[in-house]
Structure 1
């Protein structure tokens, strides 16, 4: 589903071939089957291969109650949740992190086995072959688009000056990723994550290790540069 604000299209995990593991032998058939049904019926994914779980499935999967699930969801960073009308989705990466934390806590042994089964089911969804294929395609697009990003950014925003120093843009200026492609590959082709900068200031950015929006912003303040993270 999507809306006019360009929210992502979301697809149901029911469409995927999920190879769920054998149930955890320490929990009941009923609990194990519920984990699998909840992941299958409440899982969702976006066109770039990112997987999510609907908040309604979290009380059982996290071995908590609705209040605990709401607290977990409300504390998530914006990039780890999607709120689409009546559908509230938490990223599988955030659910996995929470499951890992809960498994490591001093909890009832049977409850921890339930959590381990939930974790295995969530991972099976994450690793569905259709999602892996989508991610492979996205990686290929990232590689192919890299040489074109500078020209694309310049054309889209009519850039004539270095976005850091505001000096006239040199012909050999670089396209700099605010958040590194190695860390945020989903942002590799996002023009909002690209800064067109002349080579000297670009080298200074890397020499200073300013590889996050916060670090780049601090360097710009120190140098008296324009801060592209605030534009």
Structure 2
């Protein structure tokens, strides 16, 4: 089963297509503020409800040179990188982490102000009114569709045995989210995040000490694959 918003989730839009209310900063020159704002509008994109910034503009937001950008890109987890055409993009949540780390380092007042303003401008883009409304609509959709998700997945897969243990379902079939909806709502309808398992197995996992995420489920799964 896929969300009705699947098509929207794949849509790529430029930051310049959104109405972004950039904040002010009384301590920076107008030229500095405009440079940072332009880096966001020129380098920002959204893919569905997620936002990214082009590596070509990161030097202005991280207040560094090209080598500094290369180092930042190399240390970024694969899940926070996205390649569109020939251009590599960094997710805005990870970019915010990078900026936060730099702000905790001994830097000049001007650098600190630029980094702080970059954070504010990236936030203005990633949480603009249109995207925020879009996320809220999707959250409502997930809530409405989730109640029927289990029955639909089991029917579509024609499940007879547990995908975890291979045991007959015997009327005890339930659908498990490997990554919890509370943690990753964007994966609520992702087929690769869903597993049809027995009710007793489901309860055993959730009552266990295994991490309650995809990696934890993979560890739990090994118990049944021995």
Q: Normalising by structure 1, what TM-score?
A: 0.88
Cα distance in structure 2, aligned partners of 1:157 and 1:199: 17
Aligned residue in 2 for 1:40:
41
Cα distance in structure 2, aligned partners of 1:83 and 1:56: 12
Aligned residue in 1 for 2:199:
199
CA contact (8 A) 1:145 1:189 kept: no
Cα distance in structure 2, aligned partners of 1:226 and 1:135: 38
Are residue 50 (structure 1) and residue 50 (structure 2) matched?
A: yes
- CA-CA distance at 1:59 after TM superposition: 0.4
Aligned residue in 2 for 1:20:
22
- Three-state SS of the structure 2 residue aligned to 1:73 is helix
Cα distance in structure 2, aligned partners of 1:12 and 1:169: 47
- CA-CA distance at 1:156 after TM superposition: 3.9
- CA-CA distance at 1:131 after TM superposition: 0.4
Aligned residue in 2 for 1:9:
11
Deviations 1:83-129 (A, max 9, x none): 12112111111111111111111112211111011111111111211
Cα distance in structure 1, aligned partners of 2:209 and 2:80: 26
The answer to which of 13-22 and 155-164 deviates more is 155-164
Aligned residue in 1 for 2:60:
60
TM-aligned CA distance change 1:156 to 1:69, over 3 Å: farther
TM-aligned CA distance change 1:143 to 1:164, over 3 Å: same
- Three-state SS of the structure 2 residue aligned to 1:82 is strand
Cα distance in structure 2, aligned partners of 1:8 and 1:80: 16
Segments ≥4 residues shifted beyond 6 Å: none
| RMSD of equivalent CA atoms | 1.8
The answer to which of 147-156 and 29-38 deviates more is 147-156
- CA-CA distance at 1:226 after TM superposition: 4.2
CA contact (8 A) 1:177 1:195 kept: yes
**Unaligned runs of at least 5 residues, structure 1:** 1-6
Which structure 2 residues correspond to residues 1-231 of structure 1 after superposition, within 5 A?
8-22=10-24, 24-47=25-48, 49-210=49-210, 211-221=212-222, 223=223, 225-226=224-225
Cα distance in structure 1, aligned partners of 2:170 and 2:132: 40
**Unaligned runs of at least 5 residues, structure 2:** 1-8
Cα distance in structure 1, aligned partners of 2:187 and 2:117: 32
- CA-CA distance at 1:217 after TM superposition: 2.1
- Three-state SS of the structure 2 residue aligned to 1:83 is strand
- CA-CA distance at 1:154 after TM superposition: 2.7
Q: Normalising by structure 2, what TM-score?
A: 0.89
- CA-CA distance at 1:147 after TM superposition: 2.2
CA contact (8 A) 1:150 1:175 kept: yes
Deviations 1:11-52 (A, max 9, x none): 011111111001x222221111111111112111022x1111
Count of matched residue pairs: 217
Cα distance in structure 2, aligned partners of 1:190 and 1:117: 36
